[in-house]
Structure 1
Amino acid sequence: MKNDIFHSITTGRIRLFSALLMVAVMALAACSLKVGGVLMVEKEKNSSELNGSVEQKKQAFFARMKPLVEAENERILEQREDLLAMRSSRNLGWFERRTLQTLAEEYEVEIGDEPGQKEVQALLMRVDAVPVEMALVQAANESSWGESRFAVEGNNYFGQWCYSKGCGIVPEQRSAGATHEVRRFDNARDSVRAYMNNINTTRAYVPFRKLREEQRKRKQELDAVHLALGLKSYSERGMAYVKTIQAMIRSNRKLIASS
């Protein structure tokens, strides 16, 4: 009898303990779920805020640089219109020849005292716009979205070099024996103009200009992704650099359009 009573009491205590343990476990699980849910929401919120801040930073950069690129393209296209008008003229007057000589100086084309259609055609190859998307993502890439030392201290957004002492900023990691400096500009507009002049005149970018001329002949809109194929010489990385610029153009198109 005593054994039966003892067994009943013991069994009851075990069941009570088990029930209390189950309640505790369930409460702990509910608490953990709640905390975990809060943490997950907080983590997603932080991630969203981070992405938002990156987008805002990029859009601010494009908004600052895009008007400068567009203004320089507008200036160049006005020069191009003058050349196209000359191309349809058999005899160039004094004013037209003078205009040709001025443009030849800016775009580094050799020209004689009596320039004609040959010189007009040579200049048309160079006097043309650079796609806005291409210029903007190159500026972003070369200047770390406007935060590089050279952009902040020297308004240099495209990594342009110069070779006379004191012409710019000496790179901290310049190779022994190298003499180049990173060119310093008075403002961002001058950096954009120098970049476009570099693209339109330097021998290294003949492939770019040929691709652009082909699109003009076909009466196509200038395609930034396709024309970026002509930038292989812009970086020691070669085609890897081209692919980087093409990827940046594709991924930032909407931001550039809305800036």
Structure 2
Amino acid sequence: MKRLISLALTLNLYGAFPDWYYKVKGTTQQKQAFVEIMLPLIQAENKKLEHLRKHIIDIFNDPFYLINPKKVAFLAKIAKIYKIKNITDKKEFLKKINTVPASLALAQAAIESGWGKSRFVREANNIFGHWEYSDKGLAPKSKYDDIQINYSLKIFPSLEASIAAYMKNLNRNPAYKSFRDLREKYSEENKTFTGLAAANTMINYSQKKEEYVKLLKQMIKNNKWSKYDK
């Protein structure tokens, strides 16, 4: 265990799943190694979101922020990233800039990447199955006949970049508005927003729809990952 933790903490030096991970034998050991690698990276990205959220709050707490060019420029930059139309809309900023339950991120990472062993991960650091509408990414082995435009698997420079893109996707994509609405509700009620609760809003993440939601919840429960949301 200590060896796994040590290697997980130094993963930033590699930016990808290390070679030793693919040599792990046994289902239990594989799951343990997957969590030891992924959880610190997920938590680190959530920390960045917490820091950004606090900075946004601090700006809005300044009654004169609108006459401060640096603060206005910063809000404009973040608003563009998170698709926020009005830079004075504090509620919208806080609704979109928030953390993702670690258990949900772990479950989706495990499902979408085949526990980190899919070709998408090995060749593109693509953990969450992100596509891009171009031919610049990793070419899929087969394409859907009803999609006429070019698309490919997005290539990420590191696992951290893939996780950041995943969280940004949940925080700004219209398809996950229900996720953000529910998270805001939990926040207003001062309740912990868990992966099990969040899983109910992931119906648009996969073509499997309700079956995907069921699979996510089973993954979280079977592996007892809810403890990471506290």
**TM-score between the two structures when normalised by the length of structure 1:** 0.73
CA RMSD of aligned residues (A): 1.8
In structure 1, what is the equivalent of residue 95 of structure 2? 125
Distance in 1 separating the partners of 2:43 and 2:225: 17
Query: How far apart are residue 229 of structure 1 and its match?
Result: 1.0
Q: 2:116 aligns with which of 123, 146, 166?
A: 146
SS of aligned partner of 1:90: coil
Instruction: List runs of 5+ in structure 1 lacking aligned partners.
Output: 1-51
1:251 and 2:222 correspond: yes
> Which residue number in structure 2 is paired with residue 96 of structure 1?
71
The answer to which of 60-69 and 92-101 deviates more is 92-101
Secondary structure at the counterpart of residue 169 of structure 1: coil
| Aligned AA (1:147) | K
Q: Is the counterpart of residue 163 in structure 1 residue 133 in structure 2?
A: yes
Q: Counterpart amino acid of 1:232? A: I
Identity %, equivalent residues:
31
Whole-angstrom CA distance in 2 between matches of 1:211 and 1:254: 20
Corresponding residue for 1:67? 40
C-alpha distance in 1 between matches for 2:62 and 2:224: 40
The superposition leaves residues 59-97 of structure 1 with CA deviations (integer Å, 9 ceiling, x where unpaired) of 111111111111110001111112222343433133332
TM-score by length of 2: 0.81
Q: Which position in structure 2 is the counterpart of 1:208? A: 179
Q: Which amino acid aligns with 2:96?
A: R
User: Over alpha carbons, which structure has the higher Rg?
Assistant: 1
1:109 equivalent in structure 2: 84
Cα deviation code 1:129-153 (max 9, x no counterpart): 0011100110000000011111111
Name the CA distance, whole Å, in 2 between partners of 1:237 and 1:164: 24
Residue identity opposite 1:220 in structure 2: K
More helix by share: 1
Quote the offset at 1:106 in angstroms. 2.0
Instruction: Give the one of 28, 35, 59 matched to 1:55.
Output: 28
